[in-house]
Structure 1
Amino acid sequence: MFSDFRNENWQDLKCRVEAEPLPRSVYQHFENTASAYPDKEAWHFIDTETSRTWSQALELVDRAAAALHLLGAREGDHVAIMATNIEEFPTLWLALARIGAAMVPVNARYSPVEVDYALTTSDAKFFLIEDELCSVLEKLVHKAIPNERLIIIGGKGPSGYTRWRSLVGAATGVISPVATPDPERVLNLQYTSGTTGFAKACMLPHSYWLICALTHHQIAATDLARMYANTSFYYMINQRMLVQAMFSGDCLVFPKTPTTSCFIDHLVDYNLDYCTPLLGLMKQSERDKDRAHHVRISMSGLGDMSRGEQSAFHRRFHFPVQNIYGMTEYGVATYVPAHQIIELEDTGTIGFPAPFREVRIFDENGIPVASGEHGEICVRGTGMLKGYYGNKQATRDAFRGKYFRTGDIGWQDERGLFFLVGRSKDMVRRASENVPCVEVETALRLMPEIVEAAVIPVPDPVTEEEVKAYVQLKPGLTPENVPPEVIFAHCETRLAPFKMPRYLEYRLAFELTETFRVQKKKLKSESADLISGSFDWKAKKWL
Structure 2
Amino acid sequence: MTGMLSMSQAVSEAFKARCIQADINVNLHAVIEEAARTHPDGVAWHFIADGSEITYVQLAAATRSVASGLLELGIQAGDRVAVMLPNRPEFPLAWLSIGRIGAVMVPVNVGYTSREVAYVLADSGATNLITTSDLAERLSGDAETRDLLASIALIVVDEGFSRSVRWGDLASTDEALLPEVSPEALVNIQYTSGTTGFPKGCMLTHDYWLVLSAVTAARLNFEAQNVLVAQPFFYMDPQWLLMMAIRVRGTLFVAEKMSTTRFMEWVRRFRIEFCSFPDLLAKAPARPDDRDHSLRHVVVYGLPKQLHAEMEERFGFVAREGYGMTEVGSAIISPFELEDVVGTGSCGIASPFRELSIRDPDGNALPDGQEGELWVRGRSIMQGYWKRPDANAEVFREGGWFRTGDLFRKDADGLYYITGRIKDMIRRSNENIAAREVEAVSLSMAGVKEAAALGVPDEVRGEEVKIYLVTDTAAGADESFVDGYIRHCRQNLAPFKVPRFIELRSELPKTSSDKVAKHVLRSERPDLRTGAFDRVDNLWR
Tell me whether the two structures share a fold, i.e. TM-score over 0.5.
yes
Q: Which of 61, 64, 67 is matched with 2:66 structurally?
A: 64
Which residue identity does 2:539 align to in structure 1? K
Identity among equivalent positions (%) equals 33
Q: 1:276-315 CA deviation, whole Å, 9 max, x = no partner? A: 1121224555444432211111123x2x333313334334
- Is 1:12 aligned to residue 14 of structure 2? yes
Task: Summarize the alignment of residues 48-447 of structure 1 with structure 2, pairs less than 5 Å apart.
Answer: 48-134=50-136, 135-142=138-145, 143-146=147-150, 149-156=153-160, 158-165=161-168, 167-168=169-170, 171-175=171-175, 177-221=177-221, 223-282=223-282, 284=284, 286-300=286-300, 302=301, 304-341=302-339, 343-401=340-398, 402-447=400-445
Larger displacement relative to structure 2 (70-79 or 495-504): 70-79
Aligned residues: 531
2-side partners of 1:309 and 1:132: how far apart?
A: 44
The CA RMSD over aligned residues, in Å, is 2.0
Which residue identity does 2:385 align to in structure 1? Y
Hey, what does 1:4 align to over in structure 2? none
2-side partners of 1:316 and 1:82: how far apart?
A: 39
1-side partners of 2:475 and 2:495: how far apart?
A: 27
Q: CA deviation at 1:466?
A: 0.5
Which residue identity does 2:526 align to in structure 1? A
2-side partners of 1:358 and 1:148: how far apart?
A: 41
2-side partners of 1:226 and 1:263: how far apart?
A: 14
Report if the CA contact (8 A) 2:224-2:249 is conserved. no
Q: CA deviation at 1:140?
A: 5.0
Report if the CA contact (8 A) 1:363-1:375 is conserved. yes
Instruction: Give the direction of change, closer, same or farther, for the CA distance of 1:285–1:140 in structure 2 (3 Å limit).
Output: farther
- Is 1:496 aligned to residue 494 of structure 2? yes
Larger displacement relative to structure 2 (45-54 or 174-183): 174-183
Q: CA deviation at 1:473?
A: 0.7
1-side partners of 2:476 and 2:313: how far apart?
A: 51
1-side partners of 2:112 and 2:469: how far apart?
A: 24
Report if the CA contact (8 A) 2:268-2:292 is conserved. yes
Q: Which of 485, 489, 505 is matched with 1:507 structurally?
A: 505
Report if the CA contact (8 A) 2:222-2:248 is conserved. no
Instruction: Give the direction of change, closer, same or farther, for the CA distance of 1:280–1:137 in structure 2 (3 Å limit).
Output: farther
**Matched residue of 1:144: which SS?**
helix
Q: 1:485-512 CA deviation, whole Å, 9 max, x = no partner? A: 1110000010000111111111011111
Larger displacement relative to structure 2 (417-426 or 312-321): 312-321
- Is 1:39 aligned to residue 37 of structure 2? no
1-side partners of 2:432 and 2:289: how far apart?
A: 31
2-side partners of 1:312 and 1:422: how far apart?
A: 25
Q: CA deviation at 1:337?
A: 2.4
Which residue identity does 1:103 align to in structure 2? M
Q: 1:241-297 CA deviation, whole Å, 9 max, x = no partner? A: 111122231111101222222211111111111101121224555444432211111
Report if the CA contact (8 A) 1:230-1:275 is conserved. no
Which residue identity does 1:92 align to in structure 2? A
Report if the CA contact (8 A) 1:69-1:176 is conserved. no
Report if the CA contact (8 A) 2:358-2:408 is conserved. yes
TM-score by length of 2: 0.94
Q: CA deviation at 1:77?
A: 0.8
1-side partners of 2:482 and 2:288: how far apart?
A: 43
Larger displacement relative to structure 2 (33-42 or 278-287): 278-287
Q: CA deviation at 1:18?
A: 4.5
Report if the CA contact (8 A) 1:195-1:427 is conserved. yes
Report if the CA contact (8 A) 1:357-1:381 is conserved. yes
**Matched residue of 2:347: which SS?**
strand
Instruction: Give the direction of change, closer, same or farther, for the CA distance of 1:140–1:204 in structure 2 (3 Å limit).
Output: farther
Q: CA deviation at 1:482?
A: 4.5
Q: CA deviation at 1:87?
A: 0.3
Hey, what does 2:520 align to over in structure 1? 522
**Matched residue of 1:141: which SS?**
helix
Q: CA deviation at 1:400?
A: 2.0
- Is 1:459 aligned to residue 457 of structure 2? yes
2-side partners of 1:162 and 1:399: how far apart?
A: 41
**Matched residue of 2:177: which SS?**
coil
1-side partners of 2:367 and 2:73: how far apart?
A: 56
Q: 1:78-106 CA deviation, whole Å, 9 max, x = no partner? A: 10000111000000111112111110001
- In structure 2, stretches of 5+ residues that fail to align are 1-8
Instruction: Give the direction of change, closer, same or farther, for the CA distance of 1:178–1:413 in structure 2 (3 Å limit).
Output: same
Hey, what does 2:476 align to over in structure 1? 478
TM-score by length of 1: 0.94
1-side partners of 2:373 and 2:119: how far apart?
A: 30
**Matched residue of 2:196: which SS?**
coil
Which residue identity does 1:215 align to in structure 2? V
**Matched residue of 2:470: which SS?**
strand
2-side partners of 1:86 and 1:40: how far apart?
A: 19
2-side partners of 1:311 and 1:434: how far apart?
A: 28
- In structure 1, stretches of 5+ residues that fail to align are 1-6
Q: CA deviation at 1:346?
A: 2.4
Q: 1:111-150 CA deviation, whole Å, 9 max, x = no partner? A: 1111001001111111111234332342252533436611
**Matched residue of 1:350: which SS?**
coil
1-side partners of 2:155 and 2:373: how far apart?
A: 44
**Matched residue of 2:148: which SS?**
coil
2-side partners of 1:287 and 1:110: how far apart?
A: 37
Hey, what does 2:4 align to over in structure 1? none
Larger displacement relative to structure 2 (313-322 or 88-97): 313-322
Instruction: Give the direction of change, closer, same or farther, for the CA distance of 1:28–1:468 in structure 2 (3 Å limit).
Output: same
Q: CA deviation at 1:60?
A: 1.9
1-side partners of 2:149 and 2:273: how far apart?
A: 41
Report if the CA contact (8 A) 1:148-1:161 is conserved. no
